[in-house]
Amino acid sequence: MPFSAAFTSGTLSFTDLIEKVYSSLQLDPFEGLELHAMKDGSEAASKVLKVIGSGSTKLCEVGWLGQDNAVVNTSLVKADDLICKKAPASRKTLKIFIRDSTSKRCPWIVNADLAKKYGIEIEPPEDIMVTILSHFPILSHFL
């Protein structure tokens, strides 16, 4: 899950969670993403094969796509030079996915089956629980 680290700093409302994931999908390239990039002075279809580095020095190995969407050759491109025409997923799709994949409570917790499959910890971090209990002390009776 490429965004798991981005969401461990606190709890979010459902709308804020959707916006954060949606923004992350638009800003951060990930393997398999099909988009456009500049090649030989013109825009060409490409697919991210590998993300290298992090922060402002992020590079992507892209495969240039031919007429049949097959990779015809590869090269390294700065992540900032990638051109995303549309988001990889709509907000509506994200809402459905998150509702189906998480608990319906705060903080958002991935369903046990998915957590086990992808090795995701389902116990909320201690700092988040302290924050929640400081705002809603009554919840300590239910834990």
The answer to whether the CB of 37 falls within 8 A of the CB of 44 is yes
Dihedrals phi, psi of 13, to nearest 5 degrees: -70, 165
> Other C-beta atoms within 10 Å of 38: how many?
14
The mean per-residue pLDDT over the stretch 35-55 comes to 86
pTM of the predicted model, to two decimals?
A: 0.56
Residues 50-106: pLDDT tens digits? 998 876 678 889 999 988 889 999 999 888 888 877 777 888 998 888 888 887 666
In angstroms, rounded to a whole number, what is the distance separating the alpha carbons of residues 51 and 82? 12
In this prediction, residue 117 has a pLDDT band, given cuts at 50, 70 and 90, of: confident
Dihedrals phi, psi of 127, to nearest 5 degrees: -65, -35
Which residue intervals of the chain are DSSP H helices? Answer: 14-27, 91-101, 112-118, 126-135
